Amino acid sequence: MFGAADYGVDIQVDDGDTERLLSVTPDDVSAAESLSFCRNVFVPLTTACRYTCTYCTYYEPPGQASLLSPAEIRDICERGADAGCTEALFTFGDDPDDRYERIHGQLAEWGHDSIHDYLREACDIALDCGLLPHSNPGDQTREQMGRVADLNASVGVMLETTAEVRAHGGPRAKEPGQRLATIATAGELGVPFTTGILVGIGETARDRAESILAIRELHERYGHIQEIIVQPVSNNDRWQQGSPELETLRRATAMARAGLPAEISVQSPPNLAPVRELLDCGVDDLGGVSPVTDDHVNPDYAWPALRELENIAEEAGVPLEERLPVQDRYAASEWLSPRIQSAIEADSEAGRRYRRVLESV
């Protein structure tokens, strides 16, 4: 349990008063009544990336970066569909800049003038294989997101933090302003959205509170945030500064739960976080878990088997529920394009699989 600690963070407001904007006490947060997860395949479209985040081993420099071919995308998606998955997760490097001539040349050869134009084809392949696309291409302009919105069940980008941190520094720095703009764009376009905070990259507790409040504000404006991931940064060959302490993660998770409306799920990734020790802080989702592919962003951290997720839920005394990459409350409304809606409703093997997942909860 929480102990006596007050999880609050003082935020100094403009007029000089100190206001407790995000003050969390044990009474504000309790364990969720169920745990959900989504069966997915991870499709790493390209390892090219305009940024160089210091904790990330995913991106590769221009001479080495790769691009999956349409045949490779289809192969991953078919394996996913065969394993009962419902989601194709397109997570890849942020919009490769002009240093990546080779990648742009390859895209041009395949008839695409941008990575988003190619993502559109990739989503089409996933749908054709019976998977619902969830794309996480990092920062996007309105035009880029608009290019792929109708072929995605949901879209996501980790806010990570509103703070300027050294981990994002250097000549090609990820900027919080641009991340927030991407989340706002999704709201304007009416796209169900996943975001999250990355804990332990040099941000303070106050920065985490501000990040959560920024997400809340955008959700209040657009109503499009379906879940927030509270993700601990993990050690790898490029990042050896360690992961956050359990207590830090507990505070961050509790703060997310208490600071956001109940309809927003709080996700803890079971391959990166000690989920069992976070459940009483309000976690209700275990995110996308793959029976088929690695977590290509954190390849040293294997997905737990379904049996392990069942154990976690059983020990907590709550049901484990499979979900689609879009939350039920967006599923049958104006939030989804006709193409995605008809994929869910289709009288096909995939449509029946989606409805089984929807009806199981």
Q: Which residue numbers belong to the known binding site for [4Fe-4S] cluster? A: 49, 53, 56
- Looking at the Cβ atoms of 56 and 126, the one nearer to ligand SF4 is 56
**Taking the complex as a whole, how short is the minimal distance between the CB of residue 325 and ligand FO1, in angstroms?**
4
Q: By rule CB under 6 A, what count of residues binds ligand 5AD?
A: 14
Chosen residue from 42, 58, 100, 354 binding ligand MET by CB under 6 A: 58
198 binds ligand 5AD (CB under 6 A): yes
Site for ligand FO1 in 216-255 (CB under 6 A): 227, 229
Q: By rule CB under 6 A, what count of residues binds ligand MET?
A: 10
129 binds ligand 5AD (CB under 6 A): no
297 binds ligand MET (CB under 6 A): yes
- Looking at the Cβ atoms of 7 and 303, the one nearer to ligand MET is 303
Residues lying near ligand SF4 in the complex (CB under 6 A) are found at 49, 51-53, 56, 58-59, 93-94, 138, 174
Give the chain as a 3 state SS string: CCCCCCCCEEEECCCCCEEEEECCCHHHCCCCCCEEEEEEEECCCECCCCCCCCCCCCCCCCCCCCECCHHHHHHHHHHHHHCCCCEEEEECCCCCCCCCHHHHHHHHHCCCCCHHHHHHHHHHHHHHHCCEEEEECCCCCHHHHHHHHHHCCEEECCCECCCCCHHHCCCCCCCHHHHHHHHHHHHHHCCCEEEEEEECCCCCHHHHHHHHHHHHHHHHHHCCEEEEEEEECCCCCCCCCCCCCHHHHHHHHHHHHHHCCCCCEEECCCCCCCHHHCHHHCCCEEEEECCCCCCCCCCCCCCCCHHHHHHHHHHHCCCEEECCCCCHHHHCCCCCCHHHHHHHHCCCHHHHHHHHHHHCC
Task: State the residue number with the nearest CB to ligand MET.
Answer: 138
158 binds ligand MET (CB under 6 A): yes
**Taking the complex as a whole, how short is the minimal distance between the CB of residue 108 and ligand FO1, in angstroms?**
28
- Looking at the Cβ atoms of 7 and 51, the one nearer to ligand SF4 is 51
325 binds ligand FO1 (CB under 6 A): yes
